[in-house]
Amino acid sequence: MQNEIPLMEWPKEGATRAPYRVMNDPAIYAREQERIFRGPTWHYLCLEAEIPEPGDYRTSFIGETPIIVVRDGEGRINAMVNRCAHKGALLCIEPCGKRKEFTCVYHAWTYDLKGDLTSVAFQRGLAGAGGMPADFDLRQHGLQRVRVENFSGMVFGTFSETVEAVEPYLGPDMAAHIRRIFNRPVEVIGYYHQVLPNNWKLYMENSRDPYHATILHAFYATFKLNRLSMLGGVALGHEGWHNILYSAASRDIQKTNYEGKGLRSVIEDVGLADSSFLTRLQEFDDGLTIAIQSIFPTCNTQQIYNTLAIRQTVPLSLDKSELHWTCFGYKDDDAELRRMRHLQANLIGPAGYVSMEDGSVGGYVQRGIAGADPSQAAVMEMGGRDIKASPGVRATETALRGFWQAYRDLMGF
């Protein structure tokens, strides 16, 4: 098979380099769909809280492949490819809803909530003429199934039959962090959707990069939500495949690191006419105010002050991706805490005070690397050249090196 032939040689410097070619080569993009998205990896699909009752469904993605996640009549969560077995049309066009069965709008092939084909319109023809052959077997034409697992309220799916269960795939530290966030029942309070003008990997790099956060994001540093001088660090899981970037905004250990340095991220002598949306409650005993977790390949869990969210990155094409944000709170939130969550949701999303720069900077990279020589590559040596946890230090690219090592392992480079 052509896909078994290495498409390129990775730079000898290893995970400290990422060739620009992996962002703009169609053959590499196609190989990712096979090796990563249909390979031995788990992919966030939705929250269990989004499908609480039988018949409730949400649509999602694994790579480019559209997925349906549904709770059946026995209460089990099933996932299947959102593609009719007849002509390949989408079965579910709306992002969510409630169904007793799934019927294709094109030719009315109908499937139950487990994905089994139950009827074909005009299967016997009309007046003894036409119809499907007598040996046509409904059982052979169900929807393609996806292996699914619910971990602490997050629903994951995979096409792999060999990848380990979700918890060992995450590793103990990453699993513990998910349990930290999902420590009691949650409910969704809103969604954001955002098209990014760049390859999916550029956003996943960005979400692992503490080095950029207080340089690029003016709001973070100016109003002291997050600075590299604050207590924090980087935790890794599954040999660097996953990571957590964390900090404590109330514990600035080097108060003079930013003022007077000329950084664009610190706008001096400026204030907020109304700073009430930055009022926060310390919810977690560990004192962390920001914790961004990346789960390879395309999922992030997010705590920024009191705004909680899942981010799912969906590749749309070689140079375009989509970012889906699911914002949630706890069912037992009181009115004031829920008000904080709604107000602080202005920090994130396509126009968020913190996140808006991330929506454009990946496009700057995508445009900047156009026409690059095949030998050219990004350099990631901040904090060293190894892949290891970095407690107390966030001026590091160790989590990016972990991402690229995972990528190389799966892609065979």
Binning the chain into helix, strand and coil, the percentages to the nearest 5 are: 25, 30, 45
Confidence at residue 17, expressed as pLDDT on a 0 to 100 scale: 98
Q: Where does a domain end: 96, 125, 151?
A: 151
* Domain presence at residue 162: no
User: In this structure, are 284 and 317 located in the same domain?
Assistant: yes
User: In this structure, are 50 and 132 located in the same domain?
Assistant: yes
* Domain presence at residue 37: no
Task: Determine contact, residues 51/59, Cβ cutoff 8 Å.
Answer: no
* Domain presence at residue 267: yes
CATH number where 85 lies: 2.102.10.10
> Which residues, listed in sequence order, are joined to residue 251 by a DSSP beta bridge?
none
User: In this structure, are 250 and 101 located in the same domain?
Assistant: no
User: In this structure, are 274 and 384 located in the same domain?
Assistant: yes
State in Å, rounded, how far the first CA of the chain is from the last one.
Answer: 16
Confidence at residue 252, expressed as pLDDT on a 0 to 100 scale: 47
User: In this structure, are 202 and 120 located in the same domain?
Assistant: no
Average pLDDT by stretches of 10, the chain with 413 residues: 64 97 96 98 98 98 98 97 98 97 97 98 90 94 98 98 98 98 98 98 96 78 67 94 88 49 56 80 92 98 96 98 98 97 94 90 97 94 96 92 98 94
Maximum C-alpha span of the chain: 86
Q: Where does a domain end: 151, 182, 205?
A: 151
Number of domains in the chain: 2
Q: Where does a domain end: 94, 124, 151?
A: 151
Confidence at residue 257, expressed as pLDDT on a 0 to 100 scale: 56
CATH number where 293 lies: 3.90.380.10
C-alpha of 78 from chain center: 20
User: In this structure, are 246 and 361 located in the same domain?
Assistant: yes
* Domain presence at residue 33: no
- DSSP string of 41-96? --EEEEEGGGS-STTEEEEEEETTEEEEEEE-TTS-EEEEESS-TTT---S--SSE
Confidence at residue 263, expressed as pLDDT on a 0 to 100 scale: 53
> Is residue 314 exposed (0-12), middle (13-18) or buried (19+ Cβ within 10 Å)?
buried
* Domain presence at residue 19: no
* Domain presence at residue 200: yes
Confidence at residue 288, expressed as pLDDT on a 0 to 100 scale: 92
User: In this structure, are 115 and 182 located in the same domain?
Assistant: no
User: In this structure, are 190 and 123 located in the same domain?
Assistant: no
* Domain presence at residue 66: yes
User: In this structure, are 177 and 132 located in the same domain?
Assistant: no
User: In this structure, are 282 and 142 located in the same domain?
Assistant: no
Task: Determine contact, residues 71/48, Cβ cutoff 8 Å.
Answer: no
What does the buried/exposed string (b/e) look like for 346-374 if buried means 16 or more CB atoms within 10 Å of the residue's CB?
A: ebbbeebbbbbbbbebbeebbeebeeeee
Residue from 45, 94, 50 nearest 65 by CA: 45
User: In this structure, are 177 and 255 located in the same domain?
Assistant: yes
Confidence at residue 221, expressed as pLDDT on a 0 to 100 scale: 66
> Which residues, listed in sequence order, are joined to residue 391 by a DSSP beta bridge?
233
Query: What secondary structure letter does DSSP report for 126?
Result: B
Instruction: Provide the 10 A C-beta neighbour count for residue 108.
Output: 13
* Domain presence at residue 26: no
Domain housing 94:
43-151
User: In this structure, are 48 and 178 located in the same domain?
Assistant: no
Confidence at residue 268, expressed as pLDDT on a 0 to 100 scale: 60
Confidence at residue 253, expressed as pLDDT on a 0 to 100 scale: 44
